[in-house]
A and B are shown apart, each in its own frame.
Chain A
Amino acid sequence: MVRDRLTDWLEELKPAERGVTLVLGFVVLGLLIALITGALGASYFLFLFGLAGMYGLLSLGLNSQWGFSGLINFSVAAFFGIGAYGAALMTGGNSPIAGGFNPIFGLLVAIVLAAVVAVAIGIPTLRLRADYLAIATLGLAEVIRLFMRNERQWTNGSAGIRGIPSFFEGWPILGTFPQTMPDVTVTTGISTITLGTSFWRQLLNVSLLLALLGIVFFVLQRAHSSPWGRVLRTIRSDEDLARGLGKNTFSYKMQAFVLGSVIMAVAGVFYAHLNLFVNPGDLDPITTFYVWVAVILGGSGSNRGALLGGFVVVAIREGSRFVNDFAWFPIDAAPLRLLLIGLLIVLVMRFRPQGVLPPQRELIWPRALSESSQEPASAANRGETNE
């Protein structure tokens, strides 16, 4: 029975989805083997997973701007930084402004701050052609980065902010969860793995991340297959057409821009509580570049693609460190990371310009589609679920 259902499910998938599922299966298998044999430390893996998920969040944010609505935002790192600094300044040990607040307040401040900055940059640029937003955000990214580095009285300058608590600090049970959990020793026959405080701490981080990812993904998925998302996709293809049909395109673009920026800030908040330290280097433009690569690689407009792209970028970025462990590999791969990512994007653009996993199905409110029985005959076998 289970097997039947599995084959049914596999048959429903489009070729691209099947391919990705297969590759993901192998990756998960490989990671499992690495974890069991002790080649990859469990808590380090969770840390990497947290980092990958964070890039997934950033990519989802950019996807709702570029993928949904065609807005070119080169300020990903800046909104990420606003989130990270918002959280750090509210909660950090050596924060020159506030410090010591519950991380929830950091999250709120970050969200509000990101939304305000997004609106401020959107008002003058979103009425203009797409390129003006690109130029303005390019500038904004630098302004925010230099602000964080130079306004020492507010941001601690290049020293950064230390002593950031984990997100659940001060919460009942969860606040002391890593300390109270006993060390667990797992013997697998090949190796013995001890799961201690750091493992539980990372596990808590990853749970937080999965919750954030889940919420954001749910929101974006619903938005994407709704009339709201449809207007955005129309704007992306032809803004004048949307205006001619009586849509207030400025308002829609603003909503998408603010939504994406807030998601990026949430990723920044998570980063602050994952890394427990932020400095102006976290706002380097390279982050923006990585996230753009992730979205284009995954398939612009697709939420799943953006998530996948985020994970792939981190896999290359972090995985290249491990390549050096193999003695037979003749070159040092770590410094070639950027080259590898560049090569990957060239290959994807050459052989699959729409990205690895672009939207696969019609984007009509899924329930309305399945409940409309009087579909035209040709439509019967198309578009069952969203994306």
Chain B
Amino acid sequence: MSNHDAVLRVEELRKSFGALVATDDATFEVERGTITGLIGPNGAGKSTLFNLISGFYEPDAGTVLVNGTEVTGKEPYEVAEHGLIRTFQTPRKLEGMTVREAMMVGPRKQPGESFVTLFTDPSGVNEAEKQNLAAVDRLLSEFEISELATQPATDISGGQMKLVELARAMLADPEILLLDEPAAGVNPTLRHSLAEQIRRLNDEGMTILLIEHDMEFVMGLADPVIVLDRGSVLMEGPPDAVQTDDRVIEAYLGGGT
């Protein structure tokens, strides 16, 4: 056992769907303050691993610890309470909402999220709404997308949606953020600003674990990088070491047998 500060620790996590073992005794840690990349060839089990960690799937065996607390098999909202928030590869756009409204879903434990409080303490709800509205405005300007605030959420581009997703996840005040392919389907310009934003959040102390297919994106951003192959961790190390590792090249090129 290592003695450094791990926000997320995954131990011998296992999940199979019928005969297919999607996650096969995966063990790794995400150290506080890092951007950890999770890569692997198609079908390596990256998304399954994300779903297991965030509570969307229930593992067959193994443990997940967030901030030292075991959250294995808990519901996503319970995992979120320990500070783990995730995004999705292809988020659906929120119909009938403006970007600002869609962002306002982000903050957790809003007093107005309780039906009863709406009627027993409307002024408290009002205060919280004002604060959240201000927080949304602040985040939108930090992400340099203030002009999107009142646009319908269905009218913005896929890349802008990814930025909004990232900003909204920040409103949930996470300690660790799991990003599922944040740059997928995003044009090069926006991809660059996405990378910058992720780096900025990290500089401000956010711990990030991200899945990414774009090697350039992930190698420029993440340290360390974890390589997943057929459900288990193949290797872990700094990007340079990963890129030149024979086993990794084999996994990607050989398709493995």
Contact = CB atoms under 8 A, between A and B. Distances in A.
Nearest to A371: B130
Contacts of A233: 94, 96-97
Interface in B127-165: 128-130, 132-134, 137, 140, 146-147, 149-150
Contacts of A301: 96
Interface in A338-387: 358-359, 362-365, 367-369, 371-372, 374-376, 378-379, 382-383
Given A238-B91, A238-B94, A364 B77 contact: no
Interface centre among A223, A227, A237, A369 (most CB of B within 10 A): A227
B149 A227 contact: no
Interface in A174-226: 219, 222-223, 226
B114 interface: yes
B174 to A, nearest CB: 9
B233 to A, nearest CB: 24
Interface centre among A236, A242, A379 (most CB of B within 10 A): A379
A241 interface: yes
Contacts of B125: 226-227, 365
B142 to A, nearest CB: 13
B137 A376 contact: yes
Contacts of A255: 115
B105 A248 contact: no
B92 A238 contact: yes
A378 B147 contact: yes
Given A243-B77, A245-B85, A246-B85, A364 B104 contact: yes
A363 B101 contact: yes
Contacts of A332: none
A247 interface: yes
Interface centre among B77, B85, B88, B149 (most CB of A within 10 A): B77
A244 interface: yes
B201 to A, nearest CB: 16
A168 B118 CA distance: 30
Contact of A245 (B108, B133, B134, B146): B108
B246 interface: no
Q: Is the interface of B mostly helix, strand, loop or mixed?
A: helix
Interface residues of A, number: 44
A230 interface: yes
A201 B130 CA distance: 47
B216 interface: no
A223 B115 contact: yes
Nearest to A382: B150
A240 interface: yes
Contacts of B115: 223, 228, 255, 259
Contact of B87 (A244, A363, A382, A383): A244
B105 A230 contact: yes
Contacts of B79: 246
A244 B88 contact: yes
A224 to B, nearest CB: 10
Interface string B51-88: 00010100000000000000000011101110001111
A243 B93 CA distance: 15
A231 B113 CA distance: 8
Contact of B95 (A226, A237, A371): A237
Nearest to B110: A227
A249 B129 CA distance: 21
A376 B150 contact: yes
Contacts of B211: none
A243 B76 contact: yes
Contacts of B126: 365, 367-368, 371
B106 interface: yes
Interface centre among B56, B94, B119, B169 (most CB of A within 10 A): B94
A223 B96 contact: no
A226 B125 CA distance: 8
A230 B114 contact: no
A234 interface: yes
Contact of B168 (A245, A365, A367, A374): A245
B155 to A, nearest CB: 13
Interface centre among B81, B104, B119 (most CB of A within 10 A): B104
Interface in A121-159: none
Contacts of B111: 227
A231 B101 CA distance: 10
B172 interface: yes
Contacts of B149: 376, 378-379
A311 to B, nearest CB: 23
B197 interface: no
Contact of A372 (B112, B130, B146, B147): B130
Contacts of A249: 77
Given A230-B104, A238-B92, A376 B172 contact: no
Given A237-B94, A237-B95, A244 B76 contact: yes
B47 interface: no
B14 interface: no
Interface of A: 219, 222-223, 226-228, 230-231, 233-234, 236-238, 240-249, 255, 259, 301, 358-359, 362-365, 367-369, 371-372, 374-376, 378-379, 382-383
18 contacts: A219-B119, A223-B118, A227-B111, A228-B113, A237-B93, A238-B91, A238-B92, A245-B168, A246-B172, A247-B113, A362-B98, A363-B97, A364-B100, A368-B130, A369-B133, A374-B134, A376-B149, A383-B150
